[in-house]
Amino acid sequence: MPAPFVTTAVGPTALQPREDAATAHRMARSAASTTGAQLSTEAFSHWLRKRRSAHRFHVDRIPFDALQGWSFEEDTGNLVHRSGRFFSVEGLHVTHEQATPRQWHQPIIKQPEIGILGILVKEFDGVLHFLMQAKMEPGNRNLLQLSPTVQATRSNYTKVHQGADVKYIDYFVRPGKGRVLADVLQSEHGSWFLHKSNRNMIVEAVGDVPLDEDFCWLTLGQIGQLLHRDNVVNMDSRTVLACAPFPDTATGALHSDTELLSWITAERSRHDVSTRRVPLDALPGWQRSEESIDHEHGRYFRVVAVSVQAGSREVSGWTQPLFEPYGPGVAAFLTRRIDGALHILVHARVEGGFLDTVELGPTVQYTPHNYAHLYGDERPAYLDEVLAAGPDRIHYEALHSEEGGRFLNAESRYLLVEADETTAPLDAPAGYRWVTPGQLTSLVRHGHYVNVQARTLLACLRASGAAA
Amino acid sequence: MPAPFVTTAVGPTALQPREDAATAHRMARSAASTTGAQLSTEAFSHWLRKRRSAHRFHVDRIPFDALQGWSFEEDTGNLVHRSGRFFSVEGLHVTHEQATPRQWHQPIIKQPEIGILGILVKEFDGVLHFLMQAKMEPGNRNLLQLSPTVQATRSNYTKVHQGADVKYIDYFVRPGKGRVLADVLQSEHGSWFLHKSNRNMIVEAVGDVPLDEDFCWLTLGQIGQLLHRDNVVNMDSRTVLACAPFPDTATGALHSDTELLSWITAERSRHDVSTRRVPLDALPGWQRSEESIDHEHGRYFRVVAVSVQAGSREVSGWTQPLFEPYGPGVAAFLTRRIDGALHILVHARVEGGFLDTVELGPTVQYTPHNYAHLYGDERPAYLDEVLAAGPDRIHYEALHSEEGGRFLNAESRYLLVEADETTAPLDAPAGYRWVTPGQLTSLVRHGHYVNVQARTLLACLRASGAAA
pLDDT digits (tens, 9 = 90+) for B211-251: 999 999 999 999 999 999 999 999 999 999 999 999 998 98
**Closest by Cβ to B256, choosing from A8, A17, A439:** A17
Q: What's the pLDDT score for residue A375?
A: 47
Alpha helices (H) in A14-136, listed in sequence order: 21-32, 41-54
Q: Look at residue B335 and tell me whether its pLDDT is greater than 70.
A: yes
Q: Is any Cβ of chain A less than 8 angstroms from the Cβ of B244? A: no
Judge contact between B283 and B105, C-beta under 8 A.
yes
Judge contact between A176 and A206, C-beta under 8 A.
yes
Q: Is any Cβ of chain B less than 8 angstroms from the Cβ of A252? A: yes
**Distant-in-sequence contacts of A63-67, Cβ < 8 A, 24+ apart:** A63/A290, A63/A291, A63/A305, A64/A290, A64/A291, A64/A305, A64/A321, A65/A290, A66/A305, A66/A307, A66/A319, A67/A305, A67/A319, A67/A320, A67/A321
Q: What's the pLDDT score for residue B369?
A: 57
Q: What's the pLDDT score for residue A16?
A: 95
Alpha helices (H) in B318-466, listed in sequence order: 368-375, 383-387, 437-443, 452-463
Judged by CB atoms closer than 8 Å, whether chains meet at A20 and B258 is answered as: yes
CATH superfamily, region B21-58+112-242? EvaA sugar 2,3-dehydratase subunit (3.90.79.40)
Give, in order, the Cα–Cα distances in Å from B68 to each of A200, B137, B374: 50, 18, 35
Measured in whole angstroms, the distance separating CA B435 from the mean position of its chain's CA atoms is 20
Q: Look at residue B83 and tell me whether its pLDDT is greater than 80.
A: yes
β-partners of residue A193 are: A109
Q: Look at residue B460 and tell me whether its pLDDT is greater than 90.
A: yes
- Among B1, B5, B197, the strongest candidate for a mutation testing the A interface, having the largest count of A CBs within 10 A, is B5
Which H or E run contains B77? none
Distance CA A451, CA A445 (A): 13
Judge contact between A261 and A334, C-beta under 8 A.
no
CA atoms within 13 A on the CB side of A402: 28
Q: Look at residue B135 and tell me whether its pLDDT is greater than 60.
A: yes
Q: Is any Cβ of chain B less than 8 angstroms from the Cβ of A258? A: yes
Of A249-253, B87-91, B201-205, the range with the lowest mean pLDDT is A249-253
| Exposed e or buried b per residue across B453-465, where buried means at least 16 C-beta atoms within 10 angstroms of its C-beta | bbbbbbbbbbbbb
- Among A5, A113, A172, A270, the strongest candidate for a mutation testing the B interface, having the largest count of B CBs within 10 A, is A5
Judge contact between A362 and A415, C-beta under 8 A.
no
Contacts of A254 in chain B (CB under 8 A): 14-16
Apex CA A190: angle with CA A189 and CA A196, to 5°?
80
Distance CA A246, CA A117 (A): 19
Instruction: For chain A, positions 437-456, list CB contacts with chain B under 8 A.
Output: 438-439, 445-448
Which H or E run contains A258? helix A257-270
Q: Look at residue B311 and tell me whether its pLDDT is greater than 80.
A: no
In the predicted model, what is the mean pLDDT of residues B391-400? 96
Judge contact between B338 and B433, C-beta under 8 A.
no
Which of A271-285, B65-79, B271-285 holds the top average pLDDT?
A: B65-79
Q: What's the pLDDT score for residue B468?
A: 45
Q: Is any Cβ of chain B less than 8 angstroms from the Cβ of A24? A: no
In the predicted model, what is the mean pLDDT of residues B258-266? 97
| Exposed e or buried b per residue across A303-324, where buried means at least 16 C-beta atoms within 10 angstroms of its C-beta | bbbbbbbbebbbeeebbbbbbb
Report the chain B residue with the minimal C-alpha distance to residue A116.
B269
Distance CA A289, CA B394 (A): 68
Nearest-10 Cα torsion for B70, B72, B75, B78: 90
The neighbour count for residue A205, using CB atoms within 10 Å, is 17
Judge contact between B169 and B139, C-beta under 8 A.
no
A247 vs chain B: nearest CA distance in angstroms?
A: 14
Judged by CB atoms closer than 8 Å, whether chains meet at B394 and A9 is answered as: no
A322 vs chain B: nearest CA distance in angstroms?
A: 24
Using alpha carbons, select from B446, B460, B153, B139 the residue that is nearest to residue B320. Answer: B139
Distance CA B197, CA A105 (A): 26
The neighbour count for residue A10, using CB atoms within 10 Å, is 17
Distance CA B342, CA B441 (A): 13
Angle between helices A452-463 and A235-242 (to 10 degrees): 70
Residue ranges, chain A, pLDDT below 50: 9-10, 161, 375-376, 468
Contacts of A248 in chain B (CB under 8 A): 18
Judged by CB atoms closer than 8 Å, whether chains meet at A8 and B180 is answered as: no
Distance CA A282, CA A101 (A): 19
Distance CA B224, CA B208 (A): 25
Report the chain B residue with the minimal C-alpha distance to residue A389.
B3
Q: Return the percent helix, strand and coil in chain B, to nearest 5.
A: 20, 35, 40
Give, in order, the Cα–Cα distances in Å from A276 to each of A124, A301, B84, B159: 50, 20, 17, 27
Contacts for A253 with CB less than 8 Å, ≥ 6 apart? A260, A341, A343, A435, A436, A438, A439, B15, B16, B18
Distance CA A434, CA A258 (A): 14
Range(s) of chain B covered by CATH 3.90.79.40: 21-58+112-242, 257-274+327-464
**Closest by Cβ to A180, choosing from B262, B394, B448:** B262
Judge contact between B152 and B166, C-beta under 8 A.
yes
Give, in order, the Cα–Cα distances in Å from B134 to each of A174, A235, B38, B52, B220: 53, 53, 16, 8, 16
Helix or strand or coil: residue A8? coil
Contacts for A325 with CB less than 8 Å, ≥ 6 apart? A300, A301, A367, A369, A370, A407, A409, A410
In the predicted model, what is the mean pLDDT of residues B60-66? 97
In sign, the C-alpha dihedral spanning A222, A223, A226, A228 is: negative
Q: Is any Cβ of chain A less than 8 angstroms from the Cβ of B16? A: yes
Residue A449 is given by DSSP the state: S
Using alpha carbons, select from B267, B262, B452 the residue that is nearest to residue B357. Answer: B267
Judge contact between B185 and B447, C-beta under 8 A.
yes
Contacts of B356 in chain A (CB under 8 A): 185, 355-356, 447-448
The neighbour count for residue B48, using CB atoms within 10 Å, is 18
**The CATH fold of domain A257-274+327-464:** Nucleoside Triphosphate Pyrophosphohydrolase (3.90.79)
In the predicted model, what is the mean pLDDT of residues B368-379? 55
Q: What's the pLDDT score for residue A162?
A: 52
The neighbour count for residue A212, using CB atoms within 10 Å, is 12
B451 vs chain A: nearest CA distance in angstroms?
A: 16
Distance CA B171, CA B180 (A): 9
Judge contact between A93 and A160, C-beta under 8 A.
no
pLDDT interval class at B112 (50, 70, 90): confident
Judge contact between A425 and A336, C-beta under 8 A.
no
pTM value is: 0.95
A56 vs chain B: nearest CA distance in angstroms?
A: 34
Q: Look at residue B53 and tell me whether its pLDDT is greater than 80.
A: yes
Contacts for B365 with CB less than 8 Å, ≥ 6 apart? B329, B330, B331, B347, B349, B371, B451, B453
Q: Is any Cβ of chain B less than 8 angstroms from the Cβ of A204? A: no
Measured in whole angstroms, the distance separating CA A436 from the mean position of its chain's CA atoms is 20
In sign, the C-alpha dihedral spanning A245, A246, A249, A255 is: negative
Q: Look at residue B163 and tell me whether its pLDDT is greater than 60.
A: no
In sign, the C-alpha dihedral spanning A368, A372, A375, A378 is: positive
Q: What's the pLDDT score for residue A430?
A: 94
Tell me the pLDDT of chain B averaged across its residues: 91
**B38 φ, ψ to 5°?**
-110, -35
Q: Give me the total of CB pairs closer than 8 Å, taking one residue from chain A and one from chain B.
A: 196
Distance CA B243, CA B440 (A): 10
Q: Is any Cβ of chain B less than 8 angstroms from the Cβ of A254? A: yes
Report the chain A residue with the minimal C-alpha distance to residue B273.
A112
Quick one: what percent of chain B has pLDDT higher than 70? 91
Judged by CB atoms closer than 8 Å, whether chains meet at B14 and A340 is answered as: no
